Amino acid sequence: MRELTPEHSGFSATLNLPAQARTRSGVQFNPLAERWSYRDNTETVSLNFSKFQLVTDTFMSASKLTFLWYAENMSSAHLHNLHQRLEHFIRLVTDGRDDPLNEITSQDVLNYKAGLRKRDSWYLGSLSGLLQKWHELGYPGVSQDAVALLKQLRIQGNLKGEAVLTMDTRHGPFTEIEIQSIHAGLESAKADGRINLESYLLVHLYMLLGQRSVQYAGLKVCDVGVGRSQDGSAVYTLHIPRAKQRAQLSRTEFKDRVLIPQIGELLVDYANQVRSAYTERLSDPSQAPLFPAKQSRSNEPAGFSFHRTSDSLADSVERTVKKLKVISERTGQPIHITATRFRRTVGTRAATEGHGELIIAELLDHSDTQNVGVYVEAVPGIVERIDRAVALQMAPLAQAFAGIIINDESQATRSGDPTSRIIDPRFDTSMTPMGNCGKFGFCGSLAPIACYTCSNFQPWLDGPHDAVLMHLISERERLLVGSDIRIASINDRTILAVAEVVKQCEDIQIAESETPNV
């Protein structure tokens, strides 16, 4: 930590910047440079001070010295955010003036506050801490009256959870149907080789755990563990480094997360593959990154060789899911993918299951509960009922049905093969098939419910699909009474797939009835 020297007790403080400085995590950089650019653990820092237009040299030096304190004592993410806020402030308060900014006064603060849109009013809250620290450090550039005003102002904080509360289709949590669609697309893409095991596992970890990208970027192969429960079954865990807290470094504290066996087993095998690949590249291959970069970079901090940045991992997740071309039942368009949406979905699903703020904060690795209440508040808006009319209306948008409707078995891929027939007496006591399976080989899915979302399913035009639809809707209503919405909505995507079959069959039959006989 940079200590204040006696001359730093007032505005006569020296403004000599050092040629070299070191971040809290030990990364060296040059504060004299116009752009501070370096790699700090798993994050890339790039602060361009040339964007501070129309300021005096004294103001520029004082601002750099203040940011130097943040670089030495706080996280790189916090440093970057404050740089953005000051850049925005300078741009607004110098707009239309000729003389360069030398000192921020109370009038500048008031002008800035008045010029902010309501949705951006929280910017001043972030900036206030920076300006008060600036003045506290004794550097010129922030007047006493500006600090006094900032301490008196009631500044609105960042509007937390707006995307969650409104279930925003671009930035809010995914609906249950959307997350089921992503999962189905992921399984299909892995099965046909469109995505590799690394991408498959990375997306699954985002979906299952909802941690921040910086935490996944800090993972090493040694963080994947497997133990045994009392009954002898395997228990798979992931040792996740904590992050976000401003003065906390990557890989200094950890939380263990238990993984479902299907993913845990694959992750153990994958981690062993990565470890083997780095036996000759690292002195200790157990310290290899779980999701490594293709090559090492010269600016990597000690202990993070071959680690990708958090932005790189987030981009990888977004690219992978976009390849799946999953459609949202709310928009009829490909789902907008961001890494943050997976995190918000985990929080929303936990609230839907009835978990309180403390549990949600623990799941999302928050240090307190001030930012998780929004998930609990959002629950009433998530609970929806689906009847036949709603299902038929939503079905074309969701595009959950992936098969092809056929007139009868003569058009089936496995025509004449009685084992390909999908029959269930619950829906037709006459044992009339509802369709055929076009897959050659064993299928572990539960027919006929799982068939409707399978690309190999070939439903018959006159199959008892409406009976299947009404059964699923009735079962959903029954579960809503005795359990939570998560359990009740487990088959929502299947309901839309069956509804799409019902609708397509009705459209075909109407078209055929209107076609004149030749």
Would you list the DSSP string of 179-207? HHHHHHHHHHHHHTTSS-HHHHHHHHHHH
68/20 Cα distance (integer angstroms): 11
135/408 Cα distance (integer angstroms): 81
* Single-letter residue type at 457: F
Q: Are 182 and 326 in contact (CB under 8 A)?
A: yes
Tell me how many degrees the CA angle 328-329-331 measures, rounded to the nearest 5.
Answer: 65
The more confident residue out of 34 and 75 is 34
Q: Are 215 and 223 in contact (CB under 8 A)?
A: no
In the prediction, which pLDDT does 74 show? 87
Q: Residues near 480 by Cβ (< 8 Å), separated by ≥ 6? A: 385, 488
Average pLDDT of span 27-37 = 92
Nearest to 233 by CA among 201, 258, 199: 258
- Which of 293-297, 433-437, 487-491 is predicted most confidently? 433-437
Q: Residues near 390 by Cβ (< 8 Å), separated by ≥ 6? A: none
Alpha-carbon torsion, ordered 437, 441, 444, 447, to 10 deg: 20
Whether pLDDT at 516 is above 80: no
Instruction: Enter the tokens of residue 32.
Output: 């004299």
Asked if residue 448 has a cis previous peptide bond (ω within 30° of 0), the answer is yes
* Single-letter residue type at 438: G
In the prediction, which pLDDT does 244 show? 55
Nearest to 209 by CA among 182, 231, 185, 237: 237
Nearest to 486 by CA among 366, 343, 383, 338: 383
Nearest to 40 by CA among 63, 22, 58: 22
Confidence of residue 517 (pLDDT cuts 50, 70, 90): low
Domain boundaries, the chain: 6-152, 176-327, 383-514
**Mean pLDDT computed over every residue of the chain:** 87
Q: Are 192 and 317 in contact (CB under 8 A)?
A: no
Whether pLDDT at 207 is above 90: yes
Find how far residue 299's CA is from the centre of its chain: 27
Backbone dihedral angles phi then psi of residue 417, each to the nearest 5 degrees: -95, 105
In the prediction, which pLDDT does 459 show? 95
Confidence of residue 6 (pLDDT cuts 50, 70, 90): very low
Q: Residues near 476 by Cβ (< 8 Å), separated by ≥ 6? A: 386, 488, 489, 491, 492, 495
Confidence of residue 382 (pLDDT cuts 50, 70, 90): low
345/326 Cα distance (integer angstroms): 16
368/366 Cα distance (integer angstroms): 5
In the prediction, which pLDDT does 296 show? 80
* Single-letter residue type at 36: W
Whether pLDDT at 1 is above 50: no
Backbone dihedral angles phi then psi of residue 438, each to the nearest 5 degrees: -95, 5
In angstroms, what CA-CA distances link 122 with 63, 144, 179, 461?
21, 22, 32, 58
Number of H-type helices and E-type strands within the chain: 18, 10
* Single-letter residue type at 94: T
Q: Residues near 198 by Cβ (< 8 Å), separated by ≥ 6? A: 270, 291
pLDDT per position as a tens digit, 276-302: 999 999 999 999 999 999 888 777 788
Q: Give the DSSP H or E segment for 457.
A: strand 457-459
Average pLDDT of span 407-416 = 92
Average pLDDT of span 188-200 = 94
The architecture (CATH level 2) of 176-327 comes to: Orthogonal Bundle (1.10)
Tell me how many degrees the CA angle 357-363-365 measures, rounded to the nearest 5.
Answer: 95
Strand partners, 517: none
Confidence of residue 10 (pLDDT cuts 50, 70, 90): very low
Q: What percent of the chain has pLDDT over 90?
A: 59
Nearest to 455 by CA among 497, 411, 397, 396: 497
Alpha-carbon torsion, ordered 94, 100, 102, 105, to 10 deg: -30
pLDDT per position as a tens digit, 119-156: 888 899 889 999 999 999 999 999 999 999 999 988 76
How many angstroms separate the first and last alpha carbons of the chain?
Answer: 90
Confidence of residue 54 (pLDDT cuts 50, 70, 90): very high
Q: What is the pTM of this model?
A: 0.73
Residue owning tokens 């009038």: 107
In the prediction, which pLDDT does 470 show? 94
How long is the chain? 518
In the prediction, which pLDDT does 3 show? 40
Residue owning tokens 């200790």: 284
Q: Are 121 and 155 in contact (CB under 8 A)?
A: yes
